[in-house]
């Protein structure tokens, strides 16, 4: 795996040691069970995989190199580099300005951007329209492009399907930067439609089967269709790709639903002509992090803590997985852990921070599951661990690390 030059303050010697120990004992990644750290007064279950992925480290390396190599030049980011507030705030403190927020609302008018400026394209990629706008201003769209290669893989898969006449069904959040970019790129080669979940996929299925009308179709999928989408002709051949941070099991469920829809409409003998049976296009890190999180749910824990940006799609899915088994607390940083009795966390349903009371048991040594999203620095996870240990007057020493870094499956 390529090593990236990222600032040391994002790294954690403790987390690096845990990850390296697991990597040595399980180089082929066959064991997704968590690392168990028993401190007597409390036990931590650390997910097998979490934290910065390839695409995030690549983006951060390019951004900081750009800052160091261009003193005196104005440097902009199209929008958030990644969905982590700490990383984005640090880039701002280094003089990087944001042109838009993550929803496309403009901070800096385009007319103020000139050919003398540097514009960094974030890891999510950007739309064809924005690329063309930058090119029209003679701004380099290659040297400072940090688009994740796994996002580009989705674009390439979509282009391949489009060249064969398939309409692309994108499983993603239509407001997310990555999905907007994928939608724009797929429109170059094929008609496309976005579905955000199995409910919307079920409705799309009803349109394919002729249960719902053309008028309803254009009303329901307004702003989620490529221009000049033809109903029902463009629903006769379909293939499914996804935003790289979605839940793998939901993408599989959507693909199976649409496959069965085409089977019902055209028959098994004609299925291959109407449904492209693609493998899901999640990135490796999303797959690994979700698999490791499912393994956490097989353990006995009193609570789970997930660290990451509240607008991070991949992190929110980890929260959803763990919430099915444990009381789960989604926090952006260790300062949200107030005491043993109180924690401030983000409630996905209410879409706001709330206060959790008595989140740790007082009648026994607690067992806490911990993971983080792909855009969360390991240093934040270490701070969370140290904060929890401080409540029990426990030190995180190298000796403990050497003796305790074992997977649950080895115990």
CA 353 to chain centre: 20
Q: Are 367 and 392 in contact (CB under 8 A)?
A: no
CATH fold, domain 149-276, is Cobalt-precorrin-4 Transmethylase; domain 1 (3.40.1010)
- Predicted pLDDT at 103: 79
Q: What is the DSSP letter of 303?
A: E
**What's the CA gap between 336 and 346, in Å, rounded?**
10
CB count in 10 Å sphere of residue 355: 11
Angle, to 10 degrees, between the axis of helix 54-69 and the axis of helix 85-93? 10
CB count in 10 Å sphere of residue 257: 16
**What's the CA gap between 43 and 359, in Å, rounded?**
15
**What's the CA gap between 296 and 304, in Å, rounded?**
9
Cα 253 to Cα 161, 235, 238, 256, 364: the distances in Å are 20, 19, 15, 5, 40
271 half-sphere exposure, CB direction, 13 A CA radius: 12
Residue with tokens 């907007």: 180
- Predicted pLDDT at 399: 64
**What's the CA gap between 337 and 347, in Å, rounded?**
15
Query: Are the folds of 8-53+284-410 and 149-276 the same?
Result: yes
Q: What is the DSSP letter of 98?
A: E
Pairing of β 275-276 and β 238-242: parallel
User: Could you report the per-residue pLDDT of 101-120, keeping only the tens digit for each?
Assistant: 887 789 999 999 999 999 99
- Predicted pLDDT at 400: 65
Residue 210 tokens, joined: 């002729």
The domain segmentation of the chain, as residue ranges, is 8-53+284-410, 54-136, 149-276
**What's the CA gap between 104 and 376, in Å, rounded?**
23
Residue 267: which region, alpha, beta or left (left: phi > 0; alpha: psi -120 to 50)? left
CATH fold, domain 8-53+284-410, is Cobalt-precorrin-4 Transmethylase; domain 1 (3.40.1010)
Q: Are 139 and 75 in contact (CB under 8 A)?
A: no
What backbone torsions phi and psi does residue 92 show, to the nearest 5 degrees? -60, -40
Helices (H), 51-172: 54-69, 85-93, 128-136, 149-163
Residue 312 tokens, joined: 């991070």
- Predicted pLDDT at 64: 94
Q: Are 24 and 37 in contact (CB under 8 A)?
A: no
Closest CA to 155 of 127, 118, 117: 127
Residues of the chain with pLDDT under 70: 1-2, 279-280, 282, 397-411
Which is the catalytic residue, given 57, 80, 178, 295? 178
What backbone torsions phi and psi does residue 343 show, to the nearest 5 degrees? -145, 140
- Percent residues over pLDDT 90 in the chain: 80
- Predicted pLDDT at 278: 80
Q: Are 94 and 9 in contact (CB under 8 A)?
A: no
Closest CA to 152 of 229, 228, 54: 54
- Predicted pLDDT at 402: 64
CB count in 10 Å sphere of residue 402: 10
Question: Coil, helix or strand for 135?
Answer: helix
User: Could you report the per-residue pLDDT of 238-272, keeping only the tens digit for each?
Assistant: 999 999 888 888 999 999 999 999 999 999 999 99
178 is catalytic: yes
CATH fold, domain 54-136, is Rossmann fold (3.40.50)
Residue 243: which region, alpha, beta or left (left: phi > 0; alpha: psi -120 to 50)? beta
Closest CA to 237 of 218, 213, 262, 268: 262
Peptide bond into 152 cis (omega under 30): no
What is the value of pTM for the model shown? 0.89
Cα 294 to Cα 44, 107, 348: the distances in Å are 16, 39, 19
């Amino acid at each position: 795996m390529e090593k990236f030059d990222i600032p040391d303050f994002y790294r954690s010697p403790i987390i690096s040691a845990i990850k390296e120990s697991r990597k040595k004992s399980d180089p082929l990644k066959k064991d997704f069970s968590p690392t168990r750290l028993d401190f007597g007064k409390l036990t931590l279950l650390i997910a097998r995989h979490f934290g910065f992925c390839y695409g995030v480290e690549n983006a951060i390396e390019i951004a900081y190199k750009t800052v160091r190599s261009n003193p005196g030049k104005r440097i902009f980011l199209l929008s958030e580099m990644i969905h982590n507030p700490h990383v984005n705030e640090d880039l701002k403190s280094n003089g990087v300005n944001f042109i838009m927020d993550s929803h496309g609302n403009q901070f800096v008018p385009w007319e103020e951007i000139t050919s003398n400026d540097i514009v960094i394209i974030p890891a999510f990629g950007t739309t064809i329209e924005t690329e063309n706008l930058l090119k029209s201003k003679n701004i380099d769209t290659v040297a400072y492009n940090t688009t994740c290669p796994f996002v580009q893989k989705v674009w390439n898969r979509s282009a391949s399907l489009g060249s064969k006449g398939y309409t692309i069904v994108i499983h993603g959040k239509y407001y997310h930067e990555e999905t907007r970019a994928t939608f724009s790129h797929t429109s170059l080669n094929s008609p496309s439609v976005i579905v955000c979940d199995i409910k919307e996929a079920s409705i799309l299925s009803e349109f394919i089967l002729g249960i719902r009308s053309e008028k309803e179709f254009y009303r329901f999928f307004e702003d989620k269709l490529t221009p000049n989408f033809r109903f029902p002709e463009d629903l006769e051949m379909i293939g499914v790709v996804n935003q790289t941070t979605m839940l793998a099991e939901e993408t599989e469920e959507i693909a199976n639903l649409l496959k069965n829809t085409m089977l019902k409409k055209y028959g098994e003998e004609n299925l291959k002509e109407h449904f492209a049976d693609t493998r899901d296009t999640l990135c490796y890190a999303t797959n690994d992090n979700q698999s490791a999180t499912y393994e956490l749910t097989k353990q006995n824990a009193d609570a789970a803590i997930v660290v990451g940006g509240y607008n991070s799609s991949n992190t929110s899915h980890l929260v959803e997985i763990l919430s099915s088994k444990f009381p789960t607390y989604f926090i952006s940083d260790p300062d949200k852990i107030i005491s043993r009795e109180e924690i401030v966390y983000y409630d996905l349903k209410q879409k706001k921070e709330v206060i959790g009371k008595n989140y740790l048991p007082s009648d026994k040594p607690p067992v806490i599951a911990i993971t983080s999203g792909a855009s969360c620095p390991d240093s934040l996870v270490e701070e969370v661990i140290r904060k929890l240990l401080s409540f029990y007057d426990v030190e995180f020493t190298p000796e403990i690390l050497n003796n305790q870094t074992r997977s649950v499956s080895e115990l």
